[in-house]
Structure 1
Amino acid sequence: MGWIRCIAVLLIWSHAGGIGAQDLPLTSTGNLRFFVDLSAFRGPEGYTRQEVALLLDASQLQLREQAGESVGKISLVAVVLDTLDNRVAHRTWVQQVAVPELDVGIGAPFKDAVFFDLTPGAYRLIVQIKDIHAEESGRCTVPLHIPDYERRARLVFSDLQLASHVARSGEVHRFVKQGWKVVPNITRNYVIGEPLQIYFEVYNLSSSGESFIMGYRLIDAEGMVVRTYPAKRFLKPGESCVRAEVLDTEGLREGTYDLQVEAFDGSSRQYFQTRRPIFLVSKDLPEGLTQVQRDLIGYYADIRYIADEKTRRTYDALESWPARLAFLKVFWKQLDDVLDTPTNERLLQHLMRMHYVETHFGAGVRGSDTDRGRVYIQYGPPDDIDYRTSAAGQKPSEVWFYETARRYEFVFRDRRGTGVYELVHSSYPGEMSNPYWWREF
């Protein structure tokens, strides 16, 4: 399950739009897969507190029986280096992880967090997790840009921390800050219909005036505002404040969104906004299988084009999710021709192709059901495209060229003027051939 979950999230975020291209959860490399998400807040004077949240599927660990429980043990290392690779900060700790009876869809999610107080500037973060009972380990390296929250003249927010649970708390805990327990949602996936929970801090409110206004919006991958939440006015508790919000997701469609938060301080006439990407998944899918279901849709479409008829019939006859997942795991492993890397590059490549055709070639139909979609999925992106706009009495066409041992072409034409291009000729072996296609138009 772990490898499917990792590739699913990697696919989702590799195609996120807007600010998401620069601000995404991170995936480790190595045999042990985990996720990292980053959030920065104001720290002690002159410092910014960089929080590093971690998510590991503990079902990957080698487990041992202990007091009637299955237990794994991991060592964690987080290192911050400056631009000259000098060590600035370092944390090492060990965690014992109890793993309950596994759910085939959910696995055994384990969350942890560590923070560093750093002066503003550029750094590099390295996180490593090792299974103490095995030789498995994973590593994540990412550049850090630590913001400066001390400039008093301007209104500014901390990072928006996406959460799976937010509540007031007086306990001392790694997930508690400013009197709030904030359990991070590290992959930023939310089920449609369930609350979208966030925590953030507002800094540098002006001393004049009693209140300020805040608003929230969801913006889709095309840059369109799909939901505007009612603006709220809040009293100023001082020059800074903490906000924990729960936003409704009912009625939204599955996909990638930017959550935009904005504030206006009327007394100083200052306005500030920030965004962070999230992903909404369908509530109609079984709990815990939402990401896997997204994969299966892509896998199924893929099987139509690259598996033989016998394989497709075998897959279609499987009725349970566990059986289909087991089948697909073997199927994709057989197609992985780069065995010395932890990622199945062939699978990831094909998922990306599926995502592209579904978002670029659909016009009243699924992109994967079109001729262009089928060719793109089967052969990949063309090396060159000749776009031919419509002339009098003619329909627009596209000619795709592939450079392999020789130059092959695929000709598509919008016969009906609906935006759906049909294959009318190809020079590739086994494809339909009609070298005089142009005479028909």
Structure 2
Amino acid sequence: MLRIIIVFILMLCVNPVQSGEKILNIYSGVKIFNNPAYDSLALLEFPIALKKNEFQFFKQEETDTKLTGRVFIQVNLIDSTAKVVDSASTYFALEAVSKEDASMKNVRIFDRLSLRAYQGKYTARIYVIDVVSKNKGEFFISPFNVPEISKTKLSMSDYYLAYDVKYVGEKADTNFKLVKNGFRILPNPTSIYSTKDSAFAIYGELYNLDFNPDKKSKFKVTYNALNQDSSFFMFLGEREIEKPASSAVVRELFDIKGWPANIYNLQIIAEDKSSKQKDTVYQPFAVIEPIPDKVDKSLANKNDPYFSLTFKERKNLLSYIISPEQLSILNNLTATGQENYLKQFWKEHDLNHTTPENEQRLEYVKRYILSNRLYSNNYTKDNGWSSDRGRIYIKYGDYDEIDEVIAPRIGNSYEVWYYRSLGEGKFFVFEDWTGNYDYRLVHSNVDGEVYNDAWQDILDQGTRLDIE
């Protein structure tokens, strides 16, 4: 059972007690609220969760019956030129009734910092310091886009995935930093739930509703759960709500009891019933098997092909799974730091902690090995992973269908890979540029990949597609 510690501000000095430095675990993210009431500045909120038992507590006075801890948190907002453009910080006290209370596992400390930002691309870095022990932790938030704020188009904010969202109004005993529009939000920054959890809550906001105070009207919100590959998993319901104003709060509670361990996307579709405008957002989340007290993962090492890969190959594999920014961070670490990064990454991406194997890693390793076997063009058969076909195979797995055009009357050979189960259908076109098994990606309908709408006509004419 997850207990909740509501933090409060208490600006006091403390004589620090030195201890061996440990790294604090930080769970965080960013939520963007593009409310037109903010004009051209979007509100960025950074929910933060910490583990209480990682902090050191002390008695302020010998006669005190309670223990006290101290926490400092700061977030730096960084623009696309790597310049810190804004920051926010907080300093607060923790309280424990005993040493046993202070050391209890699965007790979270929640807090939230806020900033405002113009349209653009940003990253953020969060720093946490245990003021008593001097232990520290850092959390890097991958690049995110702050969109232009619309004052006419129906739009939704990001959504909090939370343990609980409850209306509390202006209750004096509630931490105001966890309250938004009268709702106390206990955030789950990881967006990870257990198969033993029965439900999760969401909070978001809807803007630019067609509102007339003299005429009642409604908006509708529809919820669907999608699988990781964007295929449909479950209809979660829909609700019609009377418009309170030109903006509205959207909150809901979803029953996930019995859901299998998987990575999901929560699809939220909002529709203004009078203007007929719609907006859709997606919020990814995961359901995992609960972590047992003892599972000997070393049992899988003997037969796990991951451990047959060299360290360089393990990094090669990860390069297509993590973001370019995360890869840059990995490459700038020491050898020991890189080893720890790889271990932590796969630990966090183990969806079933009840088995010795990491099934998701096994799948990626299988793809890596097969990509070398199938798409290498050297004698040692070890460079297929770095080819375009190898990259796509590692990221998306085996295709559902393939069209192969080998040695056409004019032009080069090419292949079209179809992934029917990805969203509304994705495909990739590879052309043998040199006629020497040098297949390169020349077109795809996947965002971020090379795109050429005239690819079919160009290849049929025997002209090589220009991708450089």
Identify which of 29, 44, 47 aligns with 2:38: 44
C-alpha change, 1:347 and 1:91, in structure 2 (3 Å) is closer
Residue 74 of structure 1 is matched in structure 2 by: 71
Percent identity over paired residues:
19
Per the alignment, residue 174 of structure 1 pairs with 177
Q: Quick check: 1:270 aligned with 2:268?
A: no
Q: 1: distance between equivalents of 2:183 and 2:349?
A: 42
Partner letter of residue 65 of structure 2?
A: G
Q: Does 2:234 match 1:204?
A: no
What secondary structure sits across from 1:341 in the alignment?
A: helix
Deviation at 1:369, TM superposition (A): 11
Higher relative contact order, chain-length normalized (CA < 8 Å, sep 6+): 1
Alignment of 1:421-436 (within 5 A): none
- What is the CA distance between 1:35 and its match in structure 2? 1.4
User: What is the CA–CA distance in structure 1 between the aligned matches of 2:133 and 2:369, rounded to whole Å?
Assistant: 41
What is the distance in 2 between the residues matched to 1:201 and 1:343? Answer: 41
1:156 aligns with 2:152: no
Q: 2:87 aligns with which of 73, 85, 90?
A: 90
Q: 1:339 to 1:60 in 2, by over 3 A?
A: farther
Instruction: Confirm or deny: 8 A CA contact 1:176 1:182 kept in the other structure.
Output: yes
Q: How does 1:226-245 map to 2 (within 5 A)?
A: 226-245=233-252
Aligned-residue RMSD, C-alpha: 4.0
Helix, strand or coil for the counterpart of 1:222? coil
Distance in 2 of aligned mates of 1:49 and 1:278: 23
Alignment partners' CA distance in 1, 2:356 and 2:56 = 42
1:299 to 291, 297, 314: 297
Q: Contact between 2:52 and 2:103, CA under 8 Å: does it hold in 1?
A: no
Residue 152 of structure 1 aligns to a residue in which SS?
coil
Alignment of 1:309-324 (within 5 A): none
CA distance, structure 2, for counterparts of residue 168 and residue 375 of structure 1: 43
In the superposition, relative to structure 1, how do residues 381 and 344 fare at CA in structure 2: closer, same or farther (>3 Å)? farther
- Residues 35 and 352 of structure 1, relative CA distance in 2, 3 Å threshold: closer
User: Paired residues, what number?
Assistant: 312
1:215-240 alpha-carbon deviations (Å, 9 max, x no partner): 10111123222110222222122211
Q: Equivalent residues in 2 for 1:279-298 (5 A)?
A: 279-282=286-289, 290=290, 292-293=291-292
- TM-score, normalized by length of structure 2? 0.57
1:31 aligns with 2:35: no
SS at match of 2:121: strand
- Tell me which moved more, 130-139 or 76-85: 76-85
Query: 3-state SS of the aligned residue for 1:55?
Result: strand
Structure 2, gaps ≥5 residues long: 1-21, 305-333, 384-468
Q: In structure 2, what is the equivalent of residue 432 of structure 1? A: none
Which position in structure 2 is the counterpart of 1:119? 118
Q: Residues 302, 158 of structure 1: CA spacing in aligned structure 2 closer, same or farther, 3 A cutoff?
A: same
Does 2:362 match 1:384?
no
Please give the secondary structure, in 2, of the residue aligned with 1:344. helix
Once residues 262 and 137 of structure 1 are traced to their aligned partners in structure 2, the CA distance between those partners, rounded to angstroms, is 40
Q: 1:222 to 1:125 in 2, by over 3 A?
A: closer
In structure 2, C-alpha distance between the alignment counterparts of 1:96 and 1:214, rounded to whole Å: 40
Specify the SS of the correspondent of 2:53: helix
Q: Does structure 1 retain, via aligned residues, the 8 Å contact 2:48–2:112?
A: yes
CA offset at residue 206 of structure 1?
1.9
**TM-score, normalized by length of structure 1?**
0.60
Cα distance, 1:105 vs. partner? 8.3
Question: Is the Cα contact below 8 Å between 1:302 and 1:350 reproduced in 2?
Answer: no
Report how far residue 166 of structure 1 moved: 0.9
Q: CA deviation at 1:350?
A: 6.3
Q: How far does the alpha carbon of each residue in 1:241-291 deviate from its partner, in whole angstroms, 9 at most, with x for none?
A: 111111111332122111111012232221211011112235xxxxxxx2x
Give, in angstroms, the shift of residue 342 of structure 1: 8.9
Mark the runs of 5 or more structure 1 residues left unpaired by the alignment.
Answer: 1-29, 283-289, 307-337, 359-365, 388-399, 404-441
Deviation at 1:31, TM superposition (A): 2.3
Taking a change above 3 Å as real, the CA distance of residues 63 and 194 of structure 1, as seen in their structure-2 partners, is same
1:216 aligned partner, one-letter code:
Y
